Structure 1
């Protein structure tokens, strides 16, 4: 380990000399308290170090020691249900050590090295294994079977392996490689800035079902896809991400609170142990990893938190799981980049952000995807990345939003007006888009029904028409519209209020399966088709819109998933009531 000396301290940036043998992105211990830092620039024998802890009190002359290793995370049993900070320090263990606030220089093993896990071997001595092959499994929680994989770069014949109780640092297997016998433990380390290797990247073809109707029906994201949620303060970015983390049908959720307020992370910590997984009935925390880097923690650590989160997500993806990673918010992460860039006196780009902002955002999102994992079994895993963006004042033309939109395929634009009118999720159906419709079309038609794509297009057309008609109504009033146009306005209102509007706090309405979504939208469109025919036949418009069945359509979202036959009754009622209008001679 090489020792240098501090020559300058500027906030989270420390400049040291005497670290000639150190490399870019090496982790260093700074000062007498061994604060954790990372070399981000080497220039003329001086190293610029990004320090991930509070630097007040540091001064020139104090020692800086290079570890010679890049910033890495520990990967192994014990990750699920854990709460880490941005550099993977376990917050619950640190709280037991020093109390509610992290003191400088405190450290702890990210994963408990003393806890014993029951390991069940799935290969035998004499088997040939390659990187990524599964040696055995550990039941980490009631929802997650942790697969112990051959570390990257190891290939050979299994010499010894045994089932039993082991800690993560005990040797569980020995593999004869070309370079000699290698001992394998359940613990792996991986540098966070390097993506984990894969065999092949695939096109995403299956939707990530979130249970949120405006997302699943109008702007779906594919498993292995990328999405961003930009919106001004108070428009519901965090609530949407909480809903996705709770209900998306990913097997593992990694939630990164990056520079957000502490109370928002507290909501997650308090709610998730109470919430039940819709498939298993177990607490959601049993398939969740939380990375909490709140706004009162050092700014520089935000930069690491995103990479820590995506590396943990890649590790579970390599086991063949579908993983969803929520980053809330990438704007705070970009602010950390801007802060360090300014301290380094780099040439600023737009609005003071570094010129490499776009490439850093792209590097993060390109680590998402659906892949064939390493190993001989051809297992497929995926990472779906959803990032919240917090543009100042809701200005979507600012650099972080624009650079994010260049790389992601789904854009859920949150609207302050919708949020203020208590419409949740406040996703604007006129400005949002999804580029995954064609990818997942075959899956939807096969599993939900061939008509679902046409229903989506018709709903989008009606909402677009309503927007155009509202301009006319503002100018000359609703009486100037034809009955056909007024019907479009009425049906679009029903789509907005009865279908797209969703109550996150209602036990039934908080989550809607794709089958129920199709039935709900089907009711509204069935009413539209029947009412259109009735208007063509001269039935009075007011009689159509005052039919009792309208109330049942509005209440359909509160029909439970176990009682979907009720939708068929409402559909029959629509036809019956409109038929009765014909018989009553609804001529004007």
Structure 2
């Protein structure tokens, strides 16, 4: 028999208690008369420490700490898609119906709607042997997502009883398994501890591009399905806007957007905008393949810390059905600040800038749960993590950015100067990188062109050269540069304005197919080579730089329809005609 603990100290979201020898680490507990939800984070003999996921005002010394016997877990089942949860999976729309405008303390661990009815189709029969992770049925969760019902990891047995196809609630028992003397009831959902990664059959090598339709990503700094990405940037540089574009246009099946500690007004904008967005691939609401987790900066700080794990656990669940899932975490800096505040309340020895010494390992734990896998049901699925980082003043040397950089393979550095110049996405091509270029080389060759990666390298090299030349230009002016260097400056302007800069509000430019991206870059390279051939004949740069052709290349992102790329061929013909005639004239 486990005896309830007693509160001996209250320090914000952290409380200490006695008589806790029967409790377990990471066990979920209920605290005080209002039964606030908490989690045991330290045990030392009879005393223990609990972080509480709700406001602790009104708690008193001597009140009870009641164990639940299970770790902090989430319910995984139909009803998550299209829903908006807080950091510990409590549905905010449902809570709004119960208590307008505020989340009342002690509302309990409500999560999925137990009264909603679902049409269930079962795919097994009596006598079948079911293994962990196997799919035993399906539910149409939304117009875009078919929810596969999974045997929970660790459960197996022979089907002893099974219901017929029909309409059921999530608490209804659908299948009964017999495993020796043990009986296992399968419902539409099962629970899973958020801090434990879900098991897989095999972690596979990353080999597929996450197509985003954003030129600076797909051609210059590619993301991979099952990969990791950080988007650091100061205030106003476009972190949230970039994540919105990725959520809307990337070819992931399911999006999980975690607002962990963002300002309330920014999260409100997300909550208002997402339900109105239309999925461009299906013309159905984007929310039909999206889960929102909202834990703003004025909500309980401990729940902010848990929201990251809630989101990644949901992502792994849909991955186990065979889906490609993309997580947008906005922002991990606020999550790290929650770690810092709780660490301070625990009076732990601080490390750099007051963050706890275990910051690095916590960041690693989160990003390591990404991956491309073969699931227990022999399907292939992936979890891609895209985390925004908000370094104060845009200082990338601060601890959260530095530690994140150690564990992600794509680093998209947002630049405030580009943002203030209205160059979006404001991704600095000099500071950003992708570690997936080598592993995706085969994918580009098979799905796009053998020349895609060499062409990308050539264009990026021009931008590096331009950066060095601009330093000289600032000192002595452009006129002193030789013509071959001046043409690099001119071509770089086309790359920046005509290719890297993208307009999210233009229907042709908000999403660009890979083939168009490649042909645009190829056209810019074609112009560069023609310019070089004319320079070799000592033709003055004033004649080589044809304003009409240069402007046509900058405008082609708008003038070339995504579904008809013949206009690019016309531009190439225009380039050939002009420079061939120019060269011929000087040769004569």
Give the TM-score taking structure 2 as reference length: 0.97
CA offset digits 1:375-402 (Å, max 9, x no partner): 2xx2111000011111111111111111
Q: Distance in 2 between matches of 1:337 and 1:506?
A: 40
Q: Is the 8 A contact 1:257 1:329 kept in 2?
A: yes
Deviation at 1:566, TM superposition (A): 1.4
Deviation at 1:156, TM superposition (A): 2.2
Q: Distance in 2 between matches of 1:28 and 1:182?
A: 26
After superposing the two structures, state which structure 1 stretch, 143-152 or 17-26, moved more.
17-26
Q: Distance in 2 between matches of 1:203 and 1:104?
A: 45
In the other structure, the counterpart of 1:456 is 456
In the other structure, the counterpart of 2:177 is 175
Q: Distance in 2 between matches of 1:71 and 1:304?
A: 9
Deviation at 1:586, TM superposition (A): 8.4
In the other structure, the counterpart of 2:492 is 492
Structure 1 position 517 matched with structure 2 position 517: yes
Q: Distance in 1 between matches of 2:304 and 2:587?
A: 66
In the other structure, the counterpart of 1:299 is 301
Deviation at 1:584, TM superposition (A): 4.2
In the other structure, the counterpart of 1:374 is 376
Secondary structure of 1:272's match?
helix
Deviation at 1:190, TM superposition (A): 0.3
In the other structure, the counterpart of 2:550 is 550
Q: Distance in 1 between matches of 2:102 and 2:185?
A: 38
In the other structure, the counterpart of 1:340 is 342
Deviation at 1:576, TM superposition (A): 1.3
Once the two structures are superposed, the pairs formed by residues 200-349 of structure 1 within 5 Å of their partners are 200-349=202-351
Q: Distance in 2 between matches of 1:204 and 1:166?
A: 39
CA offset digits 1:432-483 (Å, max 9, x no partner): 1111001111011100111101110111110011011111111211011111
Q: Is the 8 A contact 1:538 1:586 kept in 2?
A: no
After superposing the two structures, state which structure 1 stretch, 356-365 or 25-34, moved more.
25-34
Q: Distance in 2 between matches of 1:2 and 1:234?
A: 52
Deviation at 1:133, TM superposition (A): 0.9
Secondary structure of 1:314's match?
helix
Deviation at 1:535, TM superposition (A): 1.4
Structure 1 position 467 matched with structure 2 position 463: no
CA offset digits 1:110-142 (Å, max 9, x no partner): 111111111111222222221111101111111
After superposing the two structures, state which structure 1 stretch, 44-53 or 103-112, moved more.
103-112
In the other structure, the counterpart of 2:354 is 352
After superposing the two structures, state which structure 1 stretch, 283-292 or 40-49, moved more.
40-49
Once the two structures are superposed, the pairs formed by residues 52-67 of structure 1 within 5 Å of their partners are 52-67=53-68
Q: Is the 8 A contact 1:4 1:19 kept in 2?
A: yes
Q: Distance in 1 between matches of 2:22 and 2:263?
A: 39
Q: Is the 8 A contact 1:210 1:247 kept in 2?
A: yes
Name stretches of at least 5 consecutive residues in structure 2 with no aligned partner: none
Structure 2 CA distance for partners of 1:419 and 1:477, relative to 1, 3 Å = same
Structure 1 position 385 matched with structure 2 position 385: yes
Secondary structure of 2:279's match?
coil
CA offset digits 1:147-183 (Å, max 9, x no partner): 0011111222223333111111111112222343322
Deviation at 1:108, TM superposition (A): 5.8
Give the TM-score taking structure 1 as reference length: 0.97
Q: Distance in 2 between matches of 1:569 and 1:273?
A: 41
Deviation at 1:519, TM superposition (A): 1.1
Name stretches of at least 5 consecutive residues in structure 1 with no aligned partner: none
In the other structure, the counterpart of 1:82 is 83
Q: Is the 8 A contact 1:540 1:586 kept in 2?
A: no
Q: Distance in 2 between matches of 1:305 and 1:179?
A: 38
In the other structure, the counterpart of 2:502 is 502
In the other structure, the counterpart of 1:419 is 419
In the other structure, the counterpart of 2:4 is 3
Q: Distance in 2 between matches of 1:134 and 1:124?
A: 12
Q: Distance in 2 between matches of 1:11 and 1:43?
A: 20
Secondary structure of 1:425's match?
coil
Q: Is the 8 A contact 2:415 2:427 kept in 1?
A: yes
Structure 1 position 199 matched with structure 2 position 201: yes
Q: Is the 8 A contact 1:94 1:107 kept in 2?
A: no
Q: Is the 8 A contact 2:409 2:435 kept in 1?
A: yes
| RMSD of equivalent CA atoms | 1.4
Deviation at 1:27, TM superposition (A): 1.2
CA offset digits 1:192-245 (Å, max 9, x no partner): 011101111111101111111111111111100001111111111111111111
Q: How many pairs does the alignment contain? A: 585
Q: Distance in 1 between matches of 2:87 and 2:141?
A: 23
CA offset digits 1:56-88 (Å, max 9, x no partner): 222212222111211100000111000000011
Deviation at 1:548, TM superposition (A): 1.8
Deviation at 1:42, TM superposition (A): 1.1
CA offset digits 1:473-509 (Å, max 9, x no partner): 1121101111111111000111011100111222221
Q: Is the 8 A contact 1:93 1:108 kept in 2?
A: no
Q: Distance in 2 between matches of 1:444 and 1:266?
A: 39
Q: Is the 8 A contact 1:19 1:66 kept in 2?
A: no
Q: Distance in 2 between matches of 1:567 and 1:167?
A: 55
Q: Is the 8 A contact 2:36 2:108 kept in 1?
A: no
Structure 1 position 128 matched with structure 2 position 125: no
Deviation at 1:44, TM superposition (A): 3.4
Structure 2 CA distance for partners of 1:181 and 1:66, relative to 1, 3 Å = closer
Secondary structure of 1:562's match?
coil
After superposing the two structures, state which structure 1 stretch, 57-66 or 217-226, moved more.
57-66
Secondary structure of 2:40's match?
strand
Q: Distance in 2 between matches of 1:491 and 1:464?
A: 12
